[in-house]
């Protein structure tokens, strides 16, 4: 009987310790979200562009996310949202602010075609 009580006590202690660690991580995330800013990085293929709203739909993995690009800086041959094309592979960084993904930097994925590059000739 003592052995069963000891095992139960150890399991309960481990459960409380593990759940406490999980709450600590959730608290950090909640604190970041409470400030309204949560950093992110992404790499994906542009599916759609809305010039008037300054947004782009980018397929990241299996889902397509909408990114706000009005405040973004552009690198690697891009000088603005008008240079982006559907099908371009891009990467970027940004912040989630009040539930919206705001991109701060956009660049082409290395090895992907860069705006202005000409495709190699077959001849």
Per-residue pLDDT reduced to its tens digit, 36-76: 678 999 999 999 999 999 999 999 999 999 999 999 999 99
pLDDT band of residue 115 (cuts 50, 70, 90) is: low
Pairing of strands 73-74, 100-108: parallel
Domain ranges of the chain: 1-35, 38-108
pLDDT band of residue 23 (cuts 50, 70, 90) is: very low
Q: CB–CB of 81/50 below 8 Å? A: no
- Residue of higher predicted confidence among 118 and 81: 81
- Which tokens hold the place of 107? 């660049």
38-108 folds as OB fold (Dihydrolipoamide Acetyltransferase, E2P) (2.40.50)
Cα dihedral sign, 59-65-69-74: negative
The Cα 37–Cα 3 span in angstroms is 50
pTM of the model: 0.63
Residue 65 forms beta bridges with which residues?
A: 58
């Amino acid at each position: 009987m003592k052995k069963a009580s000891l095992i139960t006590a150890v399991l309960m202690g481990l459960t409380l310790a593990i759940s406490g660690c999980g709450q600590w991580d959730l608290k950090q995330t909640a604190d970041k979200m409470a400030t309204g800013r949560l950093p992110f990085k992404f790499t994906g293929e542009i599916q759609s562009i809305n010039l008037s709203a300054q947004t782009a739909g980018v397929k990241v993995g299996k889902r397509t996310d909408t990114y706000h690009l009005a405040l973004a800086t552009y690198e690697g041959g891009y000088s603005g949202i008008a240079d982006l094309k559907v099908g371009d592979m891009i990467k970027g960084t940004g912040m989630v602010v009040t539930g919206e993904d705001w991109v701060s930097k956009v660049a082409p994925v290395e090895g992907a075609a860069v705006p202005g590059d000409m495709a190699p000739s077959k001849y």
